Chain A
Amino acid sequence: MTLVLLTEQLLNGIQFGVMLFLMAAGLTLVFGVMGLINLAHGSLYMIGAFLCATVALATGSFWLGLVASLAGAAAAGAVVEIAVIRRLYDRDHLDQVLATFALILIFSEGTRWVFGSFPLFLDIPPVLQGAVTLPGGAEYPLYRLTIIAIGLLIAFGLYLLISRTRLGMRIRAGESDREMIGALGVDIRTLYTVVFALGAALAGLAGALVGAIQSVQVGMGEPVLILAFVVIVIGGIGSVKGALIGAILVGVVDTLGRILLPQFFALFMEASQATSVGSALASMAIYILMAIILAVKPQGLFSAGA
């Protein structure tokens, strides 16, 4: 394991983490502010990817696709909030899980109905294609560096939004006491719709960004959703800062685990057996991480409610 390879893998882990953050930020806001478990968050990610691919294919511009995915996912989020989610705030988590699971099925079938079962393709915009040489000699895809930059910018933007603006103040207030801010004359219904749409837009953005390096297909959101839940459990429910740190932690542990564990077992095992044992353990790594963190800090690293 050379330093160059290690740098590259760290960047891979951070890039993966930043992408998870975009998913987890919305999820944790909705969970923290409204107390709602939204399993359909992954569907909004899928919608973002499909919209970006469709618009990019029709217009030839990735950037228009990106705008469309942001706007479209936010709109879809707002519609879903008004039509379905609004009725679920007062119910218990089991009802929310059932209803939002139904939404996953509806969105997946709907997307298949419109686009078919075959994956769509979305190319990286020409200016971001290819690899760049980093100081130290590592070559790294430019597009992945861009994802890292966009993710960190958005994390900073969210921080400013929540700590410096009136909307952010209301969001924070909603987290601690929703009846009280309602009594103070804040329009809770609109606030919730806005927060939900914001979370949806972030998920849509993540889908669009990732769609260009992976395949855009029905059901692409569910595996990411599970990881996003791991992230918010690690980071602490309702904390955007926790989501960022948890996401990067998960990204780095997962990536390095995939690389280092097989090599570790190869030290004292036969090669193909080592890859198989190492890969199996690597896929558990983040769950083990989650278990350890929960054992030490049951509320997560930066729980907002604690």
Chain B
Amino acid sequence: MKKLLLAGLTGLSMTVGAAYAEPVKVGMITTLSGGGSGLGVDVRDGFLLAAKMAGNKDLEVIVEDDARKPDLAVQIADKMIQKEKVDVLTGIIWSNLAMAVVPSSVAQGVFYLSPNAGPSMLAGKGCHENYFNVAWQNDNLHEAMGGHASSAGFKNTFILAPNYPAGKDALTGFKRFYEGDVAGELYTKLGQTDYAAEIAQIRASDADSVFFFLPGGMGIAFMKQYAQSGVDVPVMGPAFSFDQGILKAVGDAALGVKNSSQWSKDIDNPANKAFVEAFQAEYGRLPSLYASQGYDTANLILSAMQKADVKDADAFRAALKEADFDSVRGDFKFDSNQHPIQDIYVREVIKEGDVLTNKIVGVGLEDRSSAYVGDCKL
């Protein structure tokens, strides 16, 4: 009942009955400038919205911009840990930045809660007791799309992704559940904006479908150029390619495209309804899956704060692990490698009035954990 109340009392500031009054200092390092800043902005806005809705004065958040630069992210992390004495770090969007920051940060004793990046290294051999991933392991959404491609009857798919850790995880994940042939496999430059050469290769191959993972502005550029190219092979991708933040820019070219996500604004549960309403009221736009991940991350921290003192690392870790919060995506729990076990849905891009958005049309993978859980010694 208390959970329902928490979820229902949108916008009303209410004090959570914290058993321990020790404040928690959260350092958020995220991408707020340069290419892909929309993703960081959404994670931040979702996180701060949850903090505001909880009204818990003991949660202090400091936000800094990494500009998608690994060296800068490392500097900020060091400063936040040594000078600001944060208890928890979060916020990183990109896997290459996560690989630069997370291992050394958790080794220094702070918690790292990932609201987005989930590189395979950190899910398997490189897992750590202080590292939690609240979003997904990088492969997950692509795995669901691989399964979908097989069940939709595609036999020869052309696949492409950027050349960085998450891009490699993406294509590996797709191939794990895809049974047909691969018509071609390409890695593009991270941040690339012109895909003419890749599209020409797609045209020249005999592909019957295209799977692409190009987050942020990369995906917008690809879709717009694809629509102009005269190639009419159907495309599909993870939610990152067709999320709320970029659908407006892609325009009608995205209509009808299938994509996979662990979250959608039409998931029917009270926590999600409250989140979508509150987000729109606060920021005047529809939330994206990044916003939902930021929101869940904050609520996870808040739930742990109710149970344990952050200075008692073992108790706080145990409280995080319970994941006793109402996730906007419905069922959510941590596997032994501290990555989520959750459903991955298949969504379709539709038009509501003149707003492009997504609607769930099926479940891609049920209670999916990650492929690397066996390599993790936790």
Nearest Cβ distance between residue B107 and chain A, in whole angstroms? 29
Q: A303 an interface residue at 8 Å Cβ cutoff?
A: no
Task: Kindly provide the distance from the CB of A115 to the nearest chain B CB, expressed in whole angstroms.
Answer: 11
Any chain B CB within 8 A of the CB of A213? yes
Query: Could you give 23 example pairs across A and B, Cβ below 8 Å?
Result: A5-B203, A9-B197, A112-B33, A117-B32, A119-B217, A121-B220, A130-B230, A139-B229, A141-B228, A141-B230, A212-B224, A213-B224, A213-B225, A213-B228, A215-B249, A217-B37, A255-B197, A258-B188, A258-B198, A262-B186, A271-B185, A272-B171, A283-B189
Q: Are B221 and A215 in contact (CB under 8 A)?
A: yes
Measured between C-beta atoms, what is the minimum distance from A6 to chain B in Å? 9
* B234 on interface, CB distance cutoff 8 Å: no
Interface residues of A in 91-146 (CB under 8 A from B): 108-109, 112, 117-121, 123-124, 129-131, 139, 141, 143-144
Residue from the list A117, A120, A121, A223 in contact with B41, Cβ < 8 A: A117
Pairwise interchain contact B245-A219, C-beta atoms closer than 8 A: no
Check: A69 CB closer than 8 A to any chain B CB. Answer: no
Closest CB-CB distance, A268 to chain B, in whole Å?
17
18 A-B pairs besides A141-B230, A222-B34 with CB distance below 8 A are A4-B204, A5-B203, A8-B203, A16-B194, A117-B32, A117-B33, A117-B38, A119-B249, A131-B229, A213-B221, A213-B225, A214-B221, A218-B33, A219-B35, A255-B196, A255-B197, A275-B187, A279-B186
Q: Does A54 contact B (CB under 8 A)?
A: no
Residue in chain A with minimal CB distance to B162: A279
Which residues of chain A have C-beta atoms less than 8 A from B35's C-beta? 217, 219-220
Q: A280 on the interface (CB 8 Å rule)?
A: yes
Within 8 A of A (CB), among B197-233: 197-198, 200-201, 203-204, 216-217, 220-221, 224-225, 228-230
State the CA gap A120–B228 with chains docked (Å).
Answer: 18
Main DSSP-derived SS at the A contact region: helix
Interface residues of A (CB under 8 A from B): 2, 4-5, 8-9, 12, 15-16, 108-109, 112, 117-121, 123-124, 129-131, 139, 141, 143-144, 210, 212-215, 217-220, 222-223, 255, 258-259, 262, 271-272, 275-276, 279-280, 283
Whether A272 lies near B185 (C-beta < 8 A) is yes
Q: Is B346 an interface residue (CB 8 A)?
A: no
Nearest 7 interchain pairs by C-beta: A131-B230, A215-B220, A121-B249, A12-B196, A219-B34, A215-B217, A214-B221
The total number of A-B Cβ pairs within 8 Å is 129
Q: Which residues of B contact A213 (CB under 8 A)?
A: 194, 221, 224-225, 228
Chain B, 151-171, contact with A by CB distance < 8 Å: what is the 0/1 string?
A: 000000000000100001001
Of B168, B185, B196, B216, most buried by chain A (CB within 10 Å of CB) is B196
Cβ B217 vs Cβ A279 within 8 A: no
B187 lies within 8 A of A279 (CB): yes
What CA separation (Å) do A3 and B352 show in the bound complex? 44
Q: Is the CB of B251 within 8 A of A123?
A: yes
Instruction: Tell me whether B248 is interfacial, beta carbon within 8 Å.
Output: yes
Provide the residues of chain B in CB contact with A15, threshold 8 Å.
196
Known A112-B33, A213-B228; contact A12-B251, beta-carbon cutoff 8 A = no
B75 on interface, CB distance cutoff 8 Å: no
Q: How far is the CB of B105 from chain A (nearest CB, A)?
A: 25
Bound together, the chains give a CA A121 to CA B246 distance in angstroms of 9
Q: Does B108 contact A (CB under 8 A)?
A: no
The answer to the question of B126 belonging to the interface, with a C-beta cut-off of 8 Å to chain A, is no
B245 adjacent to A275 (CB under 8 Å): no
- Interchain CA distance A262-B220 in the complex, whole Å: 24
In the complex, chain A residues whose CB is within 8 Å of the CB of B189: 279, 283
A218 close to B37 (CB less than 8 A): yes
Query: Which residue of A has the minimal Cβ distance to B36?
Result: A217
Select one of B38, B197, B225 contacting A119, CB under 8 A: B38
Please indicate the chain A residues that have their CB under 8 angstroms from the CB of B168 in the complex.
276
By a CB distance below 8 angstroms, the chain A residues around B203 are: 5, 8, 139
Question: Could you say which of A123, A141, A219, A276 contacts B33, with CB atoms under 8 Å apart?
Answer: A219
Instruction: Compute how far the CA of A264 lies from the CA of B141 in the bound complex, rounded to whole angstroms.
Output: 31
B330 interface hit (Cβ, 8 Å):
no
For B34, the closest partner residue in chain A by CB is: A219
Contact B228 A131 (CB under 8 A): yes
In the bound complex, residues from chain B placing their C-beta under 8 Å from that of A283 are 163, 189
Are the C-beta atoms of B188 and A214 separated by less than 8 Å?
A: no
B103 within 8 A of A: no
B193 near A: Cβ within 8 Å?
yes
Q: A119-B38, A141-B230, A279-B186 are in contact. Are A259 and B171 (CB under 8 A)?
A: no
Complex: chain B residue closest to A280, CB-CB: B163
Interfacial chain B residues near A109, Cβ < 8 Å: 33
Query: CB-CB < 8 A to B37: which residues of A?
Result: 112, 117, 217-219
B191 interface residue, CB < 8 Å from A? yes
Q: Are B193 and A220 in contact (CB under 8 A)?
A: yes
CB distance from B254 to the nearest CB of A (A): 11
Complex contact B200–A12 (CB within 8 A): yes
Q: Inside 8 A of A272's CB, which chain B residues have their CB?
A: 171, 185
A263 CB → nearest B CB, Å:
9
